[in-house]
Structure 1
């Protein structure tokens, strides 16, 4: 296991970033690239049903886990016949974890609230991700996510800004008291899947990360509001992990950790799995995360990160962090341009790796306004080479 303690921090509103071969590269428009991703309208499924048709009761007290899984299982029969949509009407729908299916839409009415069960036995334990090797909160496995799916294609989770409430306070308390045997669940996790759209929803109080696509491709996440106390532990907003062709746009995130964290596995496990996150575009993100990053590269990024483009970011405070504290990586071709930052305590801190410096870092049209109590040395650069 190779470990390093380096940190690259740019206290700016980042507009453009690419981690590999950015200099002189023309804009690429490729079939299946994140710049072309688009999916059909949400109401185009041939079949539709309500959770009430499967015995669901939206009183906020009745546990609906079996109703949700029954509904998905029944509607999966229409995958080859135009697909199916499960409508969650107005109400408070208490449920444990349930799995999705292919060619499927989960649609939440504007007054629908999915409430995550606080009964631990409603959360099955699954194996750690192979690119991580062990859990993040505890050495063993992890609790399955509230909405989960693997080996799927054509999955949409959307609504009229309906709500998914993870009721995470119990989990945060257990975490702080070191009482968890396994890693906390996420709200939404899709693995080994493609053609994914998650849109027009409000996610509240996740036990841990909110949205985690992993080993997946062709992903759109847009119009999402994510809210959690800024002191809540590890409530990352959106974490694309060993994924390719991803578009994140028009999202608003208040988080106790990074608003967006780009990942690709942990240490020797991530290196062995060897699947980078690539072809990612992040546009029109508003982030409030006083103690963490608006956008972080890592810290779990041992599988690599390639071709990340970021624009129109509003961060409070303006903070963009690129970091990896677990494994040796090579950073090159990082570009910052058309940036305006105000009330900044430190304009930039670029710390490369001794013996393997960062190269090809370019800044252009950057305006930085320092705070009255800014540090004496607003710029710090070590182990940086090239233009």
Structure 2
């Protein structure tokens, strides 16, 4: 009966994901048609000696199971089933054409021994570890150069046990940058769904140099005072769908990135074609949706809608600085509800931490064509802090249909920004008071016009099985 119910659940999941190439339908919900079949080969982690007592280290069991399943990559792929239990492990690699499936009461626990998280090279678009010069600890679940990878289950849990890392960070005793909970590099056809992620040592889910990624129906939690525990950070990646997620962490809930200063400019891989739909969450530090501050490779074609943030610091922010270079353009955020948020909209142009002293101080970012519309909020301290860069104004900023109940006597503060507004309360600052000659100009870069261009539509469908 158990195997039958699991089969039915998987078939329902397959029916839910619509088709590749992906499309944006209706209110920008990303769907994917999956014409693959259920993974024909499946093993359970206990078959490789794993013990789910929360004490036994199972790194070798995960590594050996995945090594064994690699022989089925060209035979329809395989599934690694993690049953109920607490499965302590260090970092392990995924493979192509793999489903990692966690049962309802399964918990993968990250080891609290830093030696179980190997040190790897820094990302080329960063030039060094994000926190410290040199390398960085590899994520708990890791993969690179993969195709068709699924991390899912019946709402099982992946717990990074990050408190020891946070303590090392606060005491400044780290030798290398902290690890993420999940990081996939140079990979395509990735699905992460129906799981809970807890207590990441650093950023939680980090697709970097990836394409065609769905992150759907996930919960991400970390204490509100945990340092830099971002929820989802698409980084120099394209064609990303983030949908139906709840995130409560110690930093940005979603942060879109594309490399750091001269390293990001040289690497030159932007983040683009990103949909965020039905996102709920809160934090005490950081932001709900952030772009940057590492955005030197460029960020464009981002569409976020149906957003709810509460008891939070900042709702929407673009973070950059002189020396970043790059660009942020064609950003469209709509249908946002806020409750008890310190700052609703912010452009921070002085986020000036740099990887080293070799960045080009004349590399000014281009920020243009940013629309925020249909926003309502109660108990908001400041409506907007919109600060561009002197000699490098942020252009074509559209603020439309925004109604905020603000407690500050100075609800808006604007400098070095140009653009338009319509139906904004409280009254917007003078630089953005003008109504656009044609309001449709503020809608032209709605992602539905950009998201799946002819090049994407002509690609062969990528297949993945469960």
Structures share fold, TM-score greater than 0.5: yes
Q: Which residue of 2 aligns with 1:191?
A: 185
Deviation at 1:88, TM superposition (A): 0.1
Q: Is the 8 A contact 2:22 2:32 kept in 1?
A: no
Q: Is 1:334 the counterpart of 2:334 in the alignment?
A: no
> 2: CA distance between counterparts of 1:86 and 1:175?
33
Worse-superposed segment, 97-106 or 288-297: 288-297
Q: Is 1:283 the counterpart of 2:277 in the alignment?
A: yes
Give the aligned length.
Answer: 355
Q: Is 1:228 the counterpart of 2:222 in the alignment?
A: yes
Q: Which residue of 2 aligns with 1:346?
A: 382
Q: Which residue of 1 aligns with 2:404?
A: 368
List, as ranges, runs of 4+ consecutive aligned residues in structure 1 with deviation greater than 2 Å. 30-37, 39-43
Q: Which residue of 2 aligns with 1:324?
A: 320
Q: Is 1:377 the counterpart of 2:397 in the alignment?
A: no
1:347 alignment partner, SS class: strand
What 5-or-longer segments of structure 1 have no aligned partner?
Answer: 1-29
Q: Is the 8 A contact 1:62 1:94 kept in 2?
A: yes
Q: Is the 8 A contact 1:33 1:279 kept in 2?
A: no
> 2: CA distance between counterparts of 1:257 and 1:84?
35
1:71 alignment partner, SS class: helix
Q: Is the 8 A contact 1:46 1:83 kept in 2?
A: yes
TM-score normalized by structure 2? 0.74
Deviation at 1:85, TM superposition (A): 0.4
C-alpha offsets along residues 291-314 of structure 1, whole Å, 9 cap, x if unaligned?
110011011111110000010111
C-alpha offsets along residues 335-367 of structure 1, whole Å, 9 cap, x if unaligned?
111111111111112111111211111122211
Worse-superposed segment, 212-221 or 54-63: 54-63
> 1: CA distance between counterparts of 2:36 and 2:205?
20
Q: Is the 8 A contact 1:42 1:105 kept in 2?
A: no
Q: Which residue of 1 aligns with 2:111?
A: 117
Counting helix residues as a fraction of each chain, which structure ranks higher?
Answer: 2
Trace 1:10-89 onto structure 2 (pairs within 5 A): 31-32=21-22, 36-38=30-32, 40=34, 44-89=38-83
- Residue of 153, 158, 169 corresponding to 2:163: 169
> 1: CA distance between counterparts of 2:377 and 2:201?
32
TM-score normalized by structure 1? 0.89
CA pair 236-32 structure 1, distance change in 2 beyond 3 A: same
CA pair 33-132 structure 1, distance change in 2 beyond 3 A: farther
Q: Is the 8 A contact 2:225 2:284 kept in 1?
A: no
Q: Computing the radius of gyration over CA atoms, which structure comes out larger, 1 or 2?
A: 2
Which of 1 and 2 has higher RCO (CA within 8 Å, sep 6+)? 1
Deviation at 1:385, TM superposition (A): 2.1
> 2: CA distance between counterparts of 1:107 and 1:305?
32
Deviation at 1:207, TM superposition (A): 0.5
C-alpha offsets along residues 76-116 of structure 1, whole Å, 9 cap, x if unaligned?
11111111000000000000000000000000000000010
Trace 1:106-185 onto structure 2 (pairs within 5 A): 106-185=100-179
Cα RMSD after superposing both structures? 1.6
1:38 alignment partner, SS class: strand
Deviation at 1:43, TM superposition (A): 7.5
Deviation at 1:53, TM superposition (A): 1.1
1:230 alignment partner, SS class: coil
Q: Which residue of 1 aligns with 2:435?
A: none
Deviation at 1:56, TM superposition (A): 1.0
